[in-house]
Amino acid sequence: MKVLIIEDEPAISKSIKEYFKPYGIQCENAASKREALDKIGMYEYDCILLDLMLPDGDGFDILKELKRLNKTDGVIIISAKETLETRIEGFNLGADDYLTKPFHLSELLVRMQALIRRKNFNGSNIITFNEISVDLLGKNVTVNDIKLDITKKEIDLLLYLIGNQNKVLSKSAIAEYLSGDMADMLDNHDFVYAHIKNLKKKLTTSGAGDYIKTVYGLGYKWQDE
Amino acid sequence: MAWGINGRMSKTKLLNKTTRSFLIYAVLILLASAPAFYFISQWLYVYETDEVLIFHKEDFVKGTHHKFTESDIVAWNKYNRDVEIVPDMGVSTDSIVGKSLYEPTSGEMEPFRILYSPVTINSKKFTYIEKTNLVEMEGMVVSIAMMFLCIIVILLAGIIYISRESAAKIWKPFYDTLRKIQDFEIDKNREPNFAPTDIKEFDSLNKSIEKLIEKNTAIYKSQREFVENAAHELQTPLALFQTKVDTLAQAEGLPDEASDIIGALNNDISRMNRLNKNLLLLSKIDNDTYLEKQPVQINNLIEKHIDFFREQGEPKNLSFKLELDVQLSVTTNPALAEVLVNNLFMNAIRHNVQDGEIIITTTQNTVTFANTGLNNPLNSGKLFNRFSKENPSSQGNGLGLAIIKKIGELNQWNISYDFKNDLHYFIVTFP
């Protein structure tokens, strides 16, 4: 899978690149509008991460060019700008998602995975990990074909953990991901523990492996045994 | 100078003050000039009377009278009441004297002017005596007094009229400017528009104030923009920080000490992040980003995220009591109304105690968040200031209540705080 990161801050694009690498995602970087337009003209990408503020111009110009080339599907805007107007303009110009800086790499990854799933949608939309499968349309989880009694939030958490397998996920990253728009209102991240505990229990009691590991001082990690 | 009970000087309107001094001056001048006018008129009258007397005498001398015989003089004296020819009394030049004489017609003493003049008739010396009654003078004094009274009345009426009407017109731009300055608020994006005036002083007053306001508004704006820009510019380094810490956390074989620090760093970034977002939100409210209004059901907003807040209250084992029997609907910006409700929730959770309680009540025009907490009232004077924190160790960033207050101000809602029965009340009153 090929991703183009249009971002003028090299440290950010480098971090994204490194974080995505273990998942077989190949990242290319464009640090300016010019470079981005060149690359868009030459190559095909599965997903484009687009920063709106570039040294030589506006990210919206790139969106317009993508629209002209009919290549808009798979654009996630990553921007420090956070007004309703820029969001609406971004979506109107064909962007699929909008992530405000600063963000967690884990969140960017699951959003990208979701985007690509939507893009490559082929009738069934099921994610499997060993004996666990998540039906995104039916909103249910089965372990060895046995349906689990699971909440929507727990499904979100499961998808997030599986999507970021083998990565250490901090409590704050999980809390912010689960809270969505309400993340700004978080007072503590303690509720994450309860959700993790419940999910872990539901999975193990139904016969699934104990994939959720606690990482000392840092958080949790989804890891194949 | 008069002083009011509260120690402040009692204030008079400028118009009344100038009118009052005009009136006092006019009355004083008129009172002083009335006797002067009387004396001058009297002197002029006497002077004129004397001239007439001299004129009569000269007429007598120039006429045929110098040929009068003794019998002519007797006859003359007999038929002339006011002129008398008597044998020489020893007067060598014309002399006029004022005297009070008995007047038989009116039966009382009256003022007279009497001329004594030497005349020669048939080479014989005589004295010519002529007297004139000054009695018309009294009538004249009454007329003068009446005239003065009329002048005073007309003058005073005129002064009052001019100051009330014409002066009011002249001062109109001043009062207009004054009213506009009183209405001016620097944090509202409305600069006063002064009416043009042809009076130089007021025009320069308006120009000076316009300049002052313009300058201050510019300073205020740049200050506001600074907060917004600073918060915006912080987003990128924060993003860098966050991604780097995320990457660092993936490192294999970290010692426990390092893991602890990275974990703590993660919390710090989250806090910094929220602080920055709140600062951005405050400056966005300041910059009128949220102007679009529509009817909003406050009850729905309370129930919308109740699960999220219950979850946030779990570590403290808080109980939530919702008394939402009254449907409360207000017309406002929905995004801001939600921010307000969420911040009230957050505030009630954050400053609560273990096993505490939160009671949310709606009425026709209020929504109240009551919560358990410290057992003493908060300092309500400082409570709503930015970064004012009662408990310095609290996780909050000290902006929650400032945001609540700002949203209240923007919508003209009254936000008040009360402490009773060991509960902290935050009440939003809608008009």
Q: Is A15 strand, coil or helix?
A: helix
**Complex ipTM value:** 0.86
Sign of CA dihedral A103, A107, A108, A114: negative
Q: For residue A104, give how far its alpha carbon lies from the nearest alpha carbon of chain B (Å).
A: 6
B357: containing domain: 290-429
Judgement on whether residues B379 and B300 belong to the same structural domain of the protein: yes
Q: State the pLDDT at residue B389.
A: 63
A109: containing domain: 2-119
Q: State the pLDDT at residue B393.
A: 53
Among candidate residues A119, A149, A178, the one where a domain is terminated: A119
The domain that contains A203 carries what CATH number? 1.10.10.10
Interface of A with B in 128-187 (CB under 8 A): 167-168, 170-173, 175-176, 179, 182, 184-187
- Grade residue B392 by pLDDT with cuts at 50, 70 and 90: low
- Grade residue B1 by pLDDT with cuts at 50, 70 and 90: very low
Number of domains in chain A: 2
Reading the block at residue B277, the tokens are 């977002």
Task: Give per-residue pLDDT as tens, A3-41.
Answer: 999 999 899 999 999 999 999 999 999 999 999 999 998
Among candidate residues A76, A98, A119, the one where a domain is terminated: A119
Q: For residue A17, give how far its alpha carbon lies from the nearest alpha carbon of chain B (Å).
A: 11
Residue B208 maps to a domain: no
Task: Give per-residue pLDDT as tens, B223-278.
Answer: 878 877 888 888 888 999 998 998 899 988 889 999 999 999 988 898 888 888 88
Judgement on whether residues A86 and A182 belong to the same structural domain of the protein: no
Judgement on whether residues B222 and B155 belong to the same structural domain of the protein: no
Among candidate residues B248, B283, B318, the one where a domain is terminated: B283
Task: Give per-residue pLDDT as tens, B332-350.
Answer: 999 899 999 999 999 899 8
Chain B residue with minimum CA distance to A190 = B315
Residue B8 maps to a domain: no
- Grade residue A138 by pLDDT with cuts at 50, 70 and 90: confident
Residue B332 maps to a domain: yes
Judgement on whether residues A88 and A146 belong to the same structural domain of the protein: no
Judgement on whether residues A45 and A92 belong to the same structural domain of the protein: yes
Judgement on whether residues B234 and B357 belong to the same structural domain of the protein: no
- Grade residue B77 by pLDDT with cuts at 50, 70 and 90: confident
Q: State the pLDDT at residue B5.
A: 45
The domain that contains B54 carries what CATH number? 3.30.450
Judgement on whether residues B247 and B303 belong to the same structural domain of the protein: no
Q: State the pLDDT at residue B24.
A: 85
Task: Give per-residue pLDDT as tens, B134-163.
Answer: 766 667 777 877 887 888 888 888 878 887
Judgement on whether residues A153 and A203 belong to the same structural domain of the protein: yes
How many A/B residue pairs have CB atoms within 8 Å? 120
Judgement on whether residues A114 and A18 belong to the same structural domain of the protein: yes
Judgement on whether residues B130 and B244 belong to the same structural domain of the protein: no
Interface of A with B in 196-225 (CB under 8 A): 215-219
Q: State the pLDDT at residue A214.
A: 93
Please say if the pLDDT value at position B189 is more than 70. no
Residue B211 maps to a domain: no
Instruction: Say what percent of chain B tops pLDDT 70.
Output: 93
Judgement on whether residues A101 and A175 belong to the same structural domain of the protein: no
Residue B369 has phi, psi (to 5 degrees) of -110, 115
Q: State the pLDDT at residue B7.
A: 45
Residue B46 maps to a domain: yes
Judgement on whether residues A80 and A141 belong to the same structural domain of the protein: no
Task: Give per-residue pLDDT as tens, B194-206.
Answer: 888 888 988 999 9
Task: Give per-residue pLDDT as tens, A166-218.
Answer: 999 999 999 999 988 888 888 788 889 999 999 999 999 999 889 999 999 89
Radius of gyration of chain B (CA): 49
Judgement on whether residues B93 and B239 belong to the same structural domain of the protein: no
Q: State the pLDDT at residue B99.
A: 82
Question: Nearest Cβ partner of A9 from B240, B335, B350?
Answer: B240
Q: Hey, of A170, A220, A221, which one would you mutate to test binding to chain B, going by the most B CBs within 10 A of its CB? A: A170
Judgement on whether residues A138 and A112 belong to the same structural domain of the protein: no
The domain that contains B393 carries what CATH number? 3.30.565.10
Judgement on whether residues B119 and B222 belong to the same structural domain of the protein: no
Residue B209 maps to a domain: no
Measure the CA angle with vertex A9, ends A7 and A11; round to 5°: 115
Task: Spell out where chain A has E strands.
Answer: 2-6, 26-30, 47-50, 53-54, 57-58, 75-79, 97-100, 126-129, 132-135, 140-143, 146-147, 168-170, 212-215, 219-222
Judgement on whether residues B177 and B260 belong to the same structural domain of the protein: no
Report the distance separating Cα B23 and Cα B155, nearest Å: 9
Judgement on whether residues A98 and A192 belong to the same structural domain of the protein: no
Radius of gyration of chain A (CA): 18
Reading the block at residue B141, the tokens are 């004094």
Among candidate residues B133, B163, B183, the one where a domain is terminated: B183
Judgement on whether residues B17 and B156 belong to the same structural domain of the protein: yes
Judgement on whether residues B272 and B372 belong to the same structural domain of the protein: no
A120 or A121, which is more confident: A120
Judgement on whether residues A99 and A151 belong to the same structural domain of the protein: no
Nearest to A194 by CA among B36, B257, B15, B312: B312
Residue B4 maps to a domain: no
Contact check, Cβ <8 Å, B243/A11: yes
- Mean pLDDT for the stretch of residues A136-153: 89
Nearest to B130 by CA among B198, B50, B41: B50
Residue B197 maps to a domain: no
- Grade residue B390 by pLDDT with cuts at 50, 70 and 90: low
Number of domains in chain B: 3
Please say if the pLDDT value at position B106 is more than 90. no
Reading the block at residue B38, the tokens are 């009387």
In this structure, are residues B41 and B140 in contact, taking their beta carbons and an 8 Å threshold?
A: yes
Judgement on whether residues A141 and A214 belong to the same structural domain of the protein: yes
Judgement on whether residues A215 and A169 belong to the same structural domain of the protein: yes
Instruction: Say what percent of chain B tops pLDDT 90.
Output: 20
Among candidate residues A75, A94, A119, the one where a domain is terminated: A119
Task: Give per-residue pLDDT as tens, A98-119.
Answer: 998 889 999 999 999 989 888 8
